[in-house]
């Protein structure tokens, strides 16, 4: 397989997105990831449209979070299912689960029992609102967590227009945090010889991404709110209008503001605009002045000029424009895999690269997202061989 986690075996008991994202990240790094599914499969196999394939039954949502995995179908309420999971747990390095708190224990696989089977096992447990506390048993879905954890209150055009982030960011952050915790626990195991339980939640992950909104309130006593496409603490920094469409400009330092203002006929030391504090206080006037300065210019003209003087700026690209952008291809963010039904397909690659390697993630060869139960026989054969 190659990759930093080559030789590590992961049991992925999770479904939907947070846990599968964590498992996929570990797989991208070279781990062997065995995905355990029910007879109906991961929930996301039914999430769409779009559905693709000859029978239009393959969910592109599922394809997004399950590359570099093998799939085996088990009924964990049956003797056979529990037996296979037991044998896998004895051999694995990591187990990922995102059941509601207590469900895995009721199936006979409490953390204590898992560590009796394998003291070196690292268990990653992802929940909606945490495994304990007054609301620890709540089911968690991304949009619910975005609202409960305050993210929607600071996203949108105005305080009365709360919006969710356009991707399931709570799930994705939970997966990322979970994978980070697993790698730390694997490193610790080299020293102690023992595994441990790593926990995160959608609630914790969204709050962990509050950044300045957290300290603005906890230290400064200021409650943040949605204010559209402009930064709450920097101006001008946000979305502006050229003649033919929007562009983004970020004057995140006084020197950048001076460069921008001089290039577009504004007085950088004008009353109410001389410092960032003043510009934030007078944001509406600053935004209006910048938009007025851009009038008569196309977005490309503005972007070229800003690039020449060193002011950070950019397009607002649609998804199709992103995936046809040569910079994206140069970063190996387009991954070709040979799917057993769809043939060769292109999917997003890993955001990580190591050294100057020209491949996505930490491994040279990537596996396509598996069909339901595609590896039933090969995984059982591997267990039988290792028993012998």
Catalytic residue ranges: 171
C-alpha 94, offset from chain centre? 20
DSSP reduced 3-state for 170: helix
- Measured from the Cβ of residue 239, the count of other Cβ atoms closer than 10 Å reads 13
- Residue among 216, 245, 232, 324 nearest 277 (CA): 232
- Environment class of residue 80 by beta-carbon count within 10 Å: exposed (0-12), middle (13-18) or buried (19+)? exposed
Non-local (6+) Cβ contacts of 59 within 8 A are: 44, 45, 46, 47, 48, 51
C-alpha radius of gyration, the chain, whole number:
25
> CA-CA distance, 122 to 127, in Å (whole number)?
16
8 A C-beta contact, residue 52 and residue 342: yes
> CA-CA distance, 55 to 378, in Å (whole number)?
26
> CA-CA distance, 93 to 195, in Å (whole number)?
8
Write the CA distances from 98 to 71, 137, 153, 158, 343, integer angstroms. Answer: 17, 12, 26, 34, 31
> CA-CA distance, 370 to 72, in Å (whole number)?
9
Strand partners, 347: 335
Non-local (6+) Cβ contacts of 3 within 8 A are: 28, 29, 30, 31, 361, 362, 363
Residue in this structure with the two tokens 């339980």, named with its chain if needed:
197
- Environment class of residue 271 by beta-carbon count within 10 Å: exposed (0-12), middle (13-18) or buried (19+)? exposed
């Amino acid at each position: 397989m190659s990759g930093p986690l080559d030789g590590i075996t992961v049991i992925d008991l999770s479904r939907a997105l947070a846990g599968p994202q964590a498992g996929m990240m570990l797989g991208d790094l070279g781990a062997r990831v065995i995905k355990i599914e029910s007879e109906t499969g991961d929930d996301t196999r039914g999430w769409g449209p779009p559905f693709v394939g000859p029978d239009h039954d393959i969910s592109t949502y599922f394809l997004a979070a399950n590359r570099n995995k093998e799939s085996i179908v088990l009924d964990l309420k049956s003797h056979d299912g529990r037996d296979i999971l037991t044998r896998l747990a004895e051999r694995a390095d990591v187990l990922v689960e995102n059941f509601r708190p207590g469900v895995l224990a009721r199936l006979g696989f409490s953390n204590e029992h898992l560590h009796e089977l394998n003291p070196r096992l690292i268990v990653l447990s992802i929940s909606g609102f945490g495994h304990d506390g007054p609301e620890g048993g709540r089911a968690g879905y991304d949009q619910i967590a975005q609202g409960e954890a305050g993210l929607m209150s600071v996203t949108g055009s105005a305080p009365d227009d709360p919006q969710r982030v356009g991707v399931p960011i709570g799930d994705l952050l939970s997966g990322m945090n979970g994978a980070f915790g697993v790698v730390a626990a694997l490193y610790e195991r080299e020293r102690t010889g023992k595994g441990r339980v790593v926990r995160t939640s959608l609630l914790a992950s969204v709050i962990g991404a509050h950044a300045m909104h957290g300290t603005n309130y906890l230290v400064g006593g200021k409650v943040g709110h949605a204010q559209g496409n402009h930064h709450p603490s920097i101006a001008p920094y946000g979305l502006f209008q050229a003649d033919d469409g929007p562009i983004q400009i970020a004057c995140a330092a006084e020197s950048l503001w001076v460069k921008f203002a001089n290039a577009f006929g504004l007085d950088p030391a004008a009353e109410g605009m001389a410092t960032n504090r003043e510009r934030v206080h007078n944001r509406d006037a600053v935004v209006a002045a910048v938009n007025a300065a851009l009038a008569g210019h196309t977005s490309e003209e503005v972007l070229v000029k800003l690039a020449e003087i060193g002011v950070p700026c950019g397009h607002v690209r649609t998804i199709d424009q992103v995936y046809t952008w040569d910079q994206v291809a140069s970063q190996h963010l387009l991954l070709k895999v040979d799917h057993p039904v769809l043939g060769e397909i292109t999917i997003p690659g890993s955001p990580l690269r190591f050294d100057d390697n020209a491949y996505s993630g930490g491994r040279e060869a990537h596996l396509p997202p598996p069909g339901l139960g595609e590896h039933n026989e090969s995984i059982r054969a591997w267990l039988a061989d290792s028993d012998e």
